[in-house]
Chains A and B, each alone.
Chain A
Amino acid sequence: MRPADVAARTLDLVRAAAGPAAEAEVAVDRRRTALTRFAASAVHQNVADDTTTVRLQLHLGGRTTIVQGTATGAAGLRALVDDAVATAAAAPVDATWPGLARPGPPSGGRTARRSAEDDDPVARAGQVRAFVAALDGLPGAGFCSTRHHTAAYANTAGRFVAGTDTQATLDGVARCGTAEGVARASSSSLAGLDGARLGARAAAKARAGTDPVDLAPGRYQVVLEPTAVADVLWLLGYFGFDGRAYTRGSSFAEPGARQFDPAITIVDDPVGPDSLGLPFDVEGTGRRRLDLVTAGVTRGVVHNRRTARSAGADATGHADTDIPLSGGVATAHLHLLPAGPRCAAVPEVDGPAADAAVADLVGAVTDGLLVTDHFYTRALDPRAVVVTGLTRNGLWRIEGGRVTAPVRNLRFTQSYLRALAPGAVLGVGRHAVDVPAGLTAVVRAPALHLAEWNYTGGSDG
């Protein structure tokens, strides 16, 4: 049965079991995911799963429950509905019920073009083979994944939406001695990835990272490549643009205040022509391009229906059940806008910089660091987004506009908010790329040239 049919069938069962007074919403989500992992240039894990989840939220007699199941047959759906009705009757009174999404656009989502090869383990192996071949003898590790998502939402208020989304990601490192180089990209299809190009980039970084020097801890100008900027964006979203953090007072966000450098504009846009993600959330709220920061001025935060009610705002389509510890609300597809119009591609360059757009920013640095990636970043102070973490997968000294030496990894403790504060952003790259961030998200980011980053120690002590 298609997700849309499962949703309709479930709502019929709810009406029959709970009567016309019940408020109910059903979200049905079929996910076909496949992921090929490799290490030492050989595939060591290769997995696929095909699971449909039915999520029913029922508000009955002032009480609310959510029940979720993987059974989609008639008996399974009936059991799900019966469980919801019984649970709701015994549940505590829900004083903060936000109501259901109302009928209205979008009536249907983007229909993703899906190639048959997106399900094919041989095609994934082909991408991995191309990546490994481009390493030219260096050992490589990483993964190639595809995800096809078919979702439908229906509620007793008459709203119905359905859509599909596909994503493919290739993420790999090359190792040269103790040095590692990384390249990663996401796309809407496996064909949109270029294993050979990514492998060559990872290998170039690894080779440029051998024999690193130690650098004294301190505050340095940095060029953060898109892979590192993705971490900054993701954590700003998690701790700041999250409506739950905002309503509990732990977010930095002050709509209307100039909290960022004028060069910074951040939007959440899962509905653009080449964006990733579904055009509605698990509560059926339609998504749209949402301005979070415009030329340095904070504009808003993302909400699900409950945080919106608490804040006296409208839901923005960001209810989320995927992100661990997210509290039910999360950004969908964050974009940090590049300088100038978006360009589809920029040339490769020699050396460790990811591409010509990164190299442009390196050229403007008199004395600083080129940072490929961040690792294990955790907030010491969520309000100021003070984060500790380490550099990874390539760190270089920049002197006189040129990369001069690889540097051993460093630990940092840095307020991400302060790093992007007015006057702190010296340059924004002209090319933004889609990169995986956090544990399950994808963000679109250019490189950044920042005035200061606080390194507090070497990774080896």
Chain B
Amino acid sequence: MSHFDEAQAAVEAALAAGARYADARVLHRRTESMQARDGDVERLERGESAGVGVRALVGSGWGFQAVGELSTAAARRAGSAAAAIARASATLGGPPVDLITTPPRVGSWASGCAVDPATVPLSTKGDLLAGVTAASRAGGADVAEATYQTWDTRSWFVSSEGHRIDQHIRECGAGMSATAVGDSQTQRRSYPSAFGRYGTRGWDLVTELDLPAHAERIAEEARALLTAPLCPAGETTLILGGEQMSLQIHESVGHAIELDRILGWEAAFAGTSWLELGRLGSLRFGAPLMNITIDPTIPGAVGSFGYDDEGSPAIARDAVRDGIWVGVLAGRDSARAAGLDYAGNVRADGFARLPMVRMSNVGLEPGPHTLEEIIAATDDGILMETNRSYSIDDRRLNFQFGTEIGYEVKNGRLGRMLRNPTYTGISPRFWASMDMLSSEIVPYGLPICGKGQPLQLARPGHPAAPARFRNVRVGVRG
């Protein structure tokens, strides 16, 4: 079933109302999620949303209107309303707005999906989550929780320039946690990460995660953390596990290279960036080992797509090459404002939200080492794994992270477990101190990344591997 007609009607209505450019996305999404706690399924939820979102450019003013209704009449009303909103925007004046020139695309794309989550019986899914939470409880957890989520999204995009694209993206993933409650503290361990693991894949991803094999372990680790020694305070060599590296990339690289932040468009809320456009291509972001790509073409990664939400095709691009900052995440209007010639990273959270600059898959290329080699090469340091907290300033410069668990590293071997590990640093200094990087890349991803007003949630991917950093401040406490 196609909804190109509704999208076309919305665009035509916006043009008739005075827009010089318009695009429209019709979106139909089905979602499913389940949560279990302590051996019982607590919540099963399914959702279906459908509607159209129209973007119109009048003069140098943008307008966007969405309606949760699928009919050509509703689409036309939304197109006219978008143009009226754009006219109101233009009343305040401002710099000229335009889009970089791209050829109109006509295409179709679908993500891979070996096992459609919709074909897996609910009872099978429920047995999995109830079973792993029961096993965690038996393993010593005071609270054991597990969840899965699926999204099945079909979209139809039309622009006044001739774009006509339909996509079908299926996403899926799961995760679980065990919490141990002590007299004055709680400790938590998660698997496969603090946020679960998600991908543009089917239920096969959940099967591969093998939650049952880790249910007891995380419970035992959570309980052991209650009596583990505190992470010491001071400066040391820090080894980060791959999952924490994915958060490090997300916060200190991914958001920093968003062009809308660099241009000041997010100044009042998410913030700006310490990166200055004039230094694109020459600024040293980190050590020569640091190679970061923007790659929405990675099969199965959660940030993958065929086309972004303004019709630009997915293309891999360097963000940091040999430690030098060389690329940004851009949309067609921000690229034009910055004098760049590429876009391709504009996405929206459903039909009712404006497409804006978002991460796709922003991640590391593999290094030459393994985690085992990194530990063996470290005389004195700390290994930290699995994110527990994350905070970074509005320029994406000063960060402080906490992880669920840490281990002493002494004379090339793992030592005692450490609780409440934290580390802090300044982004370019921290990345410049990376002297070992593992080749063991995993396509981690986040099921939730907030940006924009009204708030939009995205699911970016972050391929990452363990790495070592020198002279890092650890053990910051209140």
User: Which residues of A pack against B, CB within 8 Å?
Assistant: 33-53, 64-71, 80, 83, 87, 90-96, 120-122, 124-125, 128-129, 132, 141-143, 145, 171-173, 175, 182, 248-250, 306, 324-325, 328, 375-384, 386-390, 392, 409, 411, 413-415, 418, 439-440, 454, 456-461
In the complex formed, the residue of B with least CB distance to A33 is B454
- B89 touches which of A43, A414, A460 (Cβ 8 Å): A43
Complexed CA–CA distance, A35 and B97 (Å): 19
- A125 touches which of B89, B142, B424 (Cβ 8 Å): B89
Chain B residues contacting A37 (CB-CB under 8 Å) are 268, 453
| Given A90-B123, A411-B398: A66 and B94 interface contact (C-beta under 8 Å) | no
Given contacts A38-B92, A45-B62, 14 further A-B contacts (CB under 8 A): A37-B268, A45-B265, A47-B85, A48-B81, A49-B67, A49-B68, A64-B43, A66-B43, A92-B44, A122-B91, A248-B142, A325-B448, A383-B185, A384-B184
- Contacting pair B478 A415 (CB below 8 A): yes
- Contacting pair B88 A46 (CB below 8 A): yes
- Contacting pair B68 A121 (CB below 8 A): no
> Is B394's beta carbon under 8 Å from chain A?
yes
Chain B residues contacting A132 (CB-CB under 8 Å) are 92
- Contacting pair A125 B44 (CB below 8 A): no
Chain B residues contacting A250 (CB-CB under 8 Å) are 143, 179, 181, 186
- Contacting pair A145 B453 (CB below 8 A): yes
- Contacting pair B42 A145 (CB below 8 A): no
| Given A51-B66, A121-B84, A328-B43: A46 and B454 interface contact (C-beta under 8 Å) | no
| Given A45-B64, A71-B50, A173-B268: A124 and B88 interface contact (C-beta under 8 Å) | yes
| Given A43-B89, A49-B65, A69-B47: A92 and B123 interface contact (C-beta under 8 Å) | yes
- Most B CB within 10 A of own CB, among A49, A90, A411, A414: A49
Complexed CA–CA distance, A64 and B126 (Å): 12
Binary per-residue interface labels of chain B (64-88) against chain A in the complex, 1 for a CB within 8 Å, 0 otherwise: 1111110000000000010011101
- A43 touches which of B41, B94, B390, B457 (Cβ 8 Å): B94
- Most B CB within 10 A of own CB, among A37, A68, A92: A92
In the complex formed, the residue of B with least CB distance to A306 is B42
Chain A residues contacting B426 (CB-CB under 8 Å) are 460-461
Chain A residues contacting B44 (CB-CB under 8 Å) are 64-66, 87, 91-92
Complexed CA–CA distance, A279 and B85 (Å): 32
24 examples of A-B residue contacts, CB within 8 angstroms: A40-B94, A42-B93, A42-B94, A49-B68, A51-B67, A53-B68, A64-B44, A65-B46, A90-B121, A90-B122, A125-B91, A171-B268, A182-B268, A250-B181, A324-B450, A376-B392, A380-B389, A383-B184, A388-B400, A409-B393, A411-B398, A457-B424, A460-B398, A460-B426
CB distance from A310 to the nearest CB of B (A): 9
> Is B312's beta carbon under 8 Å from chain A?
no
In the complex formed, the residue of B with least CB distance to A456 is B476
* Total interface residues in chain B, CB < 8 Å: 85
> Is B264's beta carbon under 8 Å from chain A?
yes
Give chain B interface residues in 35-50, CB to chain A under 8 Å: 40-50
| Given A39-B265, A125-B88: A249 and B186 interface contact (C-beta under 8 Å) | yes
> Is B474's beta carbon under 8 Å from chain A?
no
Number of A-B contacts (CB under 8 A): 270
Chain A residues contacting B397 (CB-CB under 8 Å) are 459-461
Complexed CA–CA distance, A59 and B450 (Å): 33
- Contacting pair B65 A69 (CB below 8 A): no
| Given A44-B94, A68-B46, A413-B400: A378 and B181 interface contact (C-beta under 8 Å) | no
> Is B455's beta carbon under 8 Å from chain A?
yes
- A46 touches which of B41, B86, B127 (Cβ 8 Å): B86
- Contacting pair B45 A66 (CB below 8 A): yes
Chain B residues contacting A125 (CB-CB under 8 Å) are 88-89, 91-92
Give chain B interface residues in 89-109, CB to chain A under 8 Å: 89-95, 97
- Contacting pair A380 B265 (CB below 8 A): no
CB distance from A365 to the nearest CB of B (A): 22
Complexed CA–CA distance, A122 and B90 (Å): 10
CB distance from B126 to the nearest CB of A (A): 3
Chain B residues contacting A390 (CB-CB under 8 Å) are 391, 393-394, 398
Complexed CA–CA distance, A336 and B41 (Å): 37
Chain B residues contacting A458 (CB-CB under 8 Å) are 398
- Contacting pair B400 A411 (CB below 8 A): yes
| Given A411-B400, A439-B450: A47 and B354 interface contact (C-beta under 8 Å) | yes
Chain A residues contacting B45 (CB-CB under 8 Å) are 65-68
| Given A324-B448, A409-B393: A48 and B64 interface contact (C-beta under 8 Å) | yes
In the complex formed, the residue of A with least CB distance to B180 is A249
- Most A CB within 10 A of own CB, among B67, B92, B143: B92
In the complex formed, the residue of A with least CB distance to B47 is A68
Chain B residues contacting A172 (CB-CB under 8 Å) are 268
CB distance from B259 to the nearest CB of A (A): 13
| Given A47-B64, A91-B41, A460-B397: A378 and B390 interface contact (C-beta under 8 Å) | yes
- B143 touches which of A47, A93, A249, A380 (Cβ 8 Å): A249
